[in-house]
Every structure is written in C-alpha cells, then in structure tokens.
Structure 1
Amino acid sequence: MSTVEETRNDLTKTLEATADTLSRSLAKIRTGQASERVLDDVRVDYYGTSVPLSGLATISVPEPGLVVADPWDKSNVEAVAKAIPAAGLGLTPEVSEGVVRIPFPPSCIWRSSRDRSPCPSC
C-alpha cells in the first residue's frame, strides 16, 4: 500500500471519528425541547458497577418538554433518579409510578447566555 493511500485511510478514519463526536455533541445542545440523547453520558451505580442509563432503562420522549426513563428493574428507580443530578446536566428528575420523569425547562435568554462558554481553544 502506498504512503498516499495510508495517509488517506488515516485521514478518513480521523474525519469519521470527528464527525461522530460533533454529531453527539450537537445532539446534546439544549434547545428547549427534550431529547433522550442528553442522557447518553448518565451512568447509574448498579450493584457496585457503573452502567450507562440506556443499559438499565427504556428512555422515551412522550412530549416535547419531558424525558421518561422507565427502569426494567423497578428496584433501580431511586438509583436512576440519583444519577441524573449527579451527571451535572442541570436537570431535576421526579419519581412517580415506577418511572423517572425528567422535565426540561423552557429555553430562555438568561439560560442560554449562562450556558454559553468561550471556545476552549481561543
């Protein structure tokens, strides 16, 4: 394989990884509408093991301002509810009827200006 082809393959892999990372980051931007992708990085303590929330519960968006996490094992409802604020997302879960409801506050100018941060590379 030539050096040009190797370089091209390396660049292709790097660009694909970068595009994937950007896609995941953009999906987590708070727009005032709920998205289950915001909970991708939430990890729950499951019998001493840190497990992604998506591995313990069904996550759905029944209405634009609400995400619902329905744990498959109902004994984990409290652990799921504790993991969400611990993830530092600024969300407050509510436990009711064996599910965890996560309301998303409406977007406002104050919140968007507070969440905006300067570019780390600047």
Structure 2
Amino acid sequence: MASQMANIPALKDLQGQLTARMTKTVEDFRANLIAVRTGRASVHMLDNIRVDYYGSEMPINQLAQVSAPEPQQIVVQPFDIGVVGLIEKAIRTSGQGFNPMHDGKTIRVPIPPMTEERRKEAVKQLAGILEDHKTTIRNIRRDGNDTIKKATKDKLISADDEKRATEETQQMTDAQIKTLDDMFKVKEKELMTV
C-alpha cells in the first residue's frame, strides 16, 4: 500500500522521521538480542561489558580483538597487554557468570552450558527489554499522532487526512511491534533449546 502521508505536504517529513526512529529502536533491540548469552560462544556476548581504561568506559571490542574459535570459548586478545587484567576483571564482574583466565597476553572465556534457571532468567530479562522497546515504539507513535493533530488544529490538513495519517501511523507501529515480537520468539526458542 502506498503511503498517504507522503502525498500530504504538511506530513511529508513526518513519515520518514517516524520510520527512522522506529527502525532505530528495532535495531537497538536486535543488538540487545545478539548480546544475550546462550549456551554457544559468540563474540557479541561481551558487547555490553565496559572496561575502565584510563578513566573512560570502553567496550572490550575497542581494546581487543574478540573471537569465538570454539563453540564453548571466547578468546580476547588485547591490543595493549597492559590492559589484560582490566579486561579480565570487567568480564568476571559483569554478572554474566563468566570465569575468564589469562596467560598474560590472551584471555580465554569458557562458556559454561546454561542451567535451566539461567535460561529462564535470560528469557525474563529479554522480555523486560522487549517491553521497553515496545514502549519506545508506542511513544514514537504518540509523537507522530501529536504532530498530526497539531497539523489539523493549524488547518494544514483536513480531518480526513488526519484520520488516514493516524491509521497509517498505527499500521507502522503494529508492523514494528510484530517485528520485535518475532525476533523475541526466535531468541526465546534458541535460549530454551538445550
């Protein structure tokens, strides 16, 4: 279905802005999903861990090369061997249940199999993140609807245009929320599969 908002001069930019903001929210959720720990090693498992490096919080992947050479192990090779201890400490205290070891140059992070309790906790945590992102999408919808109502009040668009634009905004919102739900279901199945 072609967009009706794009044909209304007063709302031409609004659709692009709403789409961009909603897409950014979906991509942020995708990044959160990638970082969630499953039973298999992934370089993205360390994405949310920050290292205190000379007074600033840095992500591990900016301080080291991160790889997953085996399904049950992540290898971190710092660019500067002086930060090996800092990176190891950040991983150990991240609350993700990792127990890293290092030989002075390389940090090895064994990925233990997840317990049933840990799997359920991860799904619960993800459900909370999902709800936060759905709320963000709904807030974007609200902002769009407020702009549409203001355009009607300022007599820039007709009541029919307002109705069509509001419906289109709702369709966009429904589609993005469905995308979030589908992504969550795939990750939930991956987490709960032993």
Provide the TM-score with structure 1 as the length reference.
Answer: 0.86
Distance 1:114 1:50 in 2: 27
Corresponding pairs, count: 121
Which is strand-richer, 1 or 2?
A: 1
Distance 1:33 1:19 in 2: 24
Distance 2:40 2:95 in 1: 18
The residue type equivalent to 1:8 in the other structure is: Q
Give 1:25's aligned residue. 32
Alignment of structure 1 residues 75-114 onto 2, 5 Å: 75-114=82-121
Distance 1:13 1:78 in 2: 40
Which 10-residue stretch deviates more, 51-60 or 102-111?
102-111
- SS of 1:60's equivalent in the other structure is strand
Contact 2:41 2:111 in 1 (8 A): yes
5+ residue gaps, structure 2, are 1-7, 132-194
Distance 1:96 1:30 in 2: 24
How big is each residue's C-alpha offset from its partner over 1:27-81, in whole Å with a ceiling of 9 and x where there is no partner? 1232210111111121112222222111110000010111111001111110110
Distance 1:36 1:116 in 2: 20
What is the Cα deviation at residue 97 of structure 1?
Answer: 4.7
- SS of 2:102's equivalent in the other structure is strand
Q: 1:116 aligns with which of 119, 123, 144?
A: 123
What is the Cα deviation at residue 3 of structure 1?
Answer: 2.9
Alignment of structure 1 residues 9-24 onto 2, 5 Å: 9-24=16-31
5+ residue gaps, structure 1, are none
Give 2:151's aligned residue. none
Aligned residues: CA RMSD:
2.0
- SS of 1:91's equivalent in the other structure is coil
Distance 2:30 2:103 in 1: 32
Q: Percent identity?
A: 32
Quick check: which has more Rg, 1 or 2?
Answer: 2
What is the Cα deviation at residue 117 of structure 1?
Answer: 2.0
What is the Cα deviation at residue 11 of structure 1?
Answer: 1.4
The residue type equivalent to 1:71 in the other structure is: P
Which is helix-richer, 1 or 2?
A: 2
Contact 2:84 2:105 in 1 (8 A): yes
